[in-house]
Each structure stands twice: as structure tokens, then as C-alpha cells.
Amino acid sequence: MTETTIDTAPAAHTTDTDRRRKTAMRQVWALGDYHRFARATVWEMGPALVDACGIHAGQRVLDVAAGTGNTAIRAALAGARVVASDLTPENFPAGRREAEAQGVELEWVEADAERLPFADSEFDVVTSSFGAIFAPNQQAVADEMLRVCRPGGTVGMLSFTPEGAAAGFFGVLASYSPPPPGAPSPLLWGSESHVRKLFGGRVESLELTRGQYVERADSPGAYVEFVKETLGPVVATLAAVAGDPERAAALDRDLRAFASTANRGPAGGPAEIPYDYLLIVARKPGS
């Protein structure tokens, strides 16, 4: 199993503000224990994306914003030759351990989803599972994923929708740690019209399918404690209000209110919080 660090220094047109934002994003997603979070929440969505994209043996696959390999490892299990790229290489050690436990090898590359360090048409399939949606320049992400995908290849993504639990969850965090001015919501990737606009007329077909998966915990309170320990954006938001006991207490109350309101589990029983998603499968025209 290999890890590659490619020069991801910003291009000449990148501003100091862009560089600071990327550094901050990397720091945020390195907090907590992302692999523990992913294994308990989105982990079973990886096979769904692999199946939707028809990934099979012999293909070369790039997983963008791969985290610890939710989709990338499943693509490798299907027999593909896989590159897992992410802006936050701090998550790679856990991904390497998971891949080794699954008996597969991947290449791990530190890379910015808005400026992928790969050649045009290098991959048969390009994927991203609830990852690239957090990059601020959404058009650049769409452009780059299409650029590195070969003619006749497939781009597949899983995105949270603007409706449902994700809006409530990220809304709580944004009220205590607002995103940079002008930054688009990552939930826009769950809007069919927005996705069509991002890909434009450059794809031969665009399949958009809505679905839902469920995050579980012993109780709504246990769910809150879990995300406070494991999910980088929550850990960062807690740190941002740590010096203000009243705001820290209010954040905790709001997270608990979210978990209680979104919970669809039985009264007094385990928490079951459904998250709506959009499955995107775009096919590039052949050469």
C-alpha cells in the first residue's frame, strides 16, 4: 500500500484567502476521529456508489475527498486499481490500516478537489462520497472530476440534500461557527437543478436518484456525544465557543434538540436519524 504526496501548492491565481481557507479545512477535518465516525455512519454507502458506477476489475478509479476510504476501499475490493485522494492526509493512516485489513492495496494522494494533480482522461471512474461537496468552489470540483475522467467514463457522487436532517445538523454548526462570506452551502450538491448546472452539457447522461440512509446511536444524547468526539467540524465548533460558557452550553442544547427532533427511533429506544442524499451518476460522451 502506498502513499504519495504531490505538490499541492496553490496555482498563481490562487489568493491568500483561498490558501487560508484550504488550510483551515484541512485542520478541521483532521480533528476528532473521522474513521470511527465514518464506520458508524456513512460506511455502508460506499458499496452503493461502487455498484451505481458499475466499477469492476481492471478499471482505474479515482476517489476524491476519500477520507479513510469508504468508497475507495470498496472499489479496490471490486478489483479496480484505485487512487484515494484527499486534502487531509492525516486520515490516511486509518485508511491504510482498513485497506490492509480488507486485503487490498490503494495509492493515497494528498490533493485538492478543486485542482486535482492528475492528467486529463486518466481514470475510468471518478467518485466522491459526501466529500468533495465541502470544497468551496463547486464549479471547479465538477470541472476537475470531469477533466480527469476519460471519454466514455463515469463520474459518481453521493451528496446530502438541502432537505432533511443534514440541513438541520449543519445549520446548528453554522449558527455558532459561520462559513466564510460567500461560501456556497455543500447541500447545493443535493439539488438536481444545481447539479445539472454544474455539469452542464458536458455529459452524455445524468442520473439523479434520491435515497436515505440512517445514522444510529443508543439514544439521541449518545448520538450527540459521538459526533462531539469524532466529527471534525463539530470538534472545531466546540473549540470555537469553548471560551464562552454560555455559547458552549447553548451549542450543546441545540445539538441535543436537533438529535431529538430528527430522531425517528422508538420512544425511549435507540436513536435513528435518517439523512437524505442524492446519488449522482454522470456518463461522459465517448471519444
Average pLDDT for 19-45: 95
157 lies in some domain: yes
CA distance 121 to 198: 19
Q: Is 6 among the domain residues? A: no
Does the residue 263 lie in any domain?
Answer: no
Q: Evaluate whether residue 96 is within a structural domain.
A: yes
Full DSSP string of 220-264: HHHHHHHHHHH-HHHHHHHHHTTT-HHHHHHHHHHHHHHHHHH--
- Specify which residues 276 forms β-bridges with: 212
In angstroms, the CA 9 to CA 84 distance is 19
Name the residue range of residue 48's domain.
17-161+181-215+274-283
Separation of alpha carbons 180 and 123, rounded Å:
33
Q: What is the CATH number of the domain that holds 197?
A: 3.40.50.150
Span 145-196, pLDDT tens digits: 999 999 999 999 999 999 999 999 999 999 999 988 888 999 999 999 999 9
Beta strands in 64-193 (DSSP E): 81-86, 107-110, 123-129, 149-160
Q: How far apart are CA 49 and CA 55, in angstroms?
A: 9
**Which pTM value belongs to this model?**
0.93
Asked whether residue 170 is assigned to any structural domain, the reply reads no
State what percent of residues in the chain have pLDDT above 90: 90
Number of folded domains that form the chain: 1
* Residue 169 domain flag: no
pLDDT attached to residue 179: 86
pLDDT tier at 14, thresholds 50, 70, 90: low
Report residue 130's pLDDT band, with 50, 70 and 90 as the boundaries.
very high
Residue 12 has pLDDT above 70, yes or no: no
In a domain, 102, yes or no: yes
The answer as to whether 10 is a domain residue is: no
Average pLDDT over residues 217-226: 98
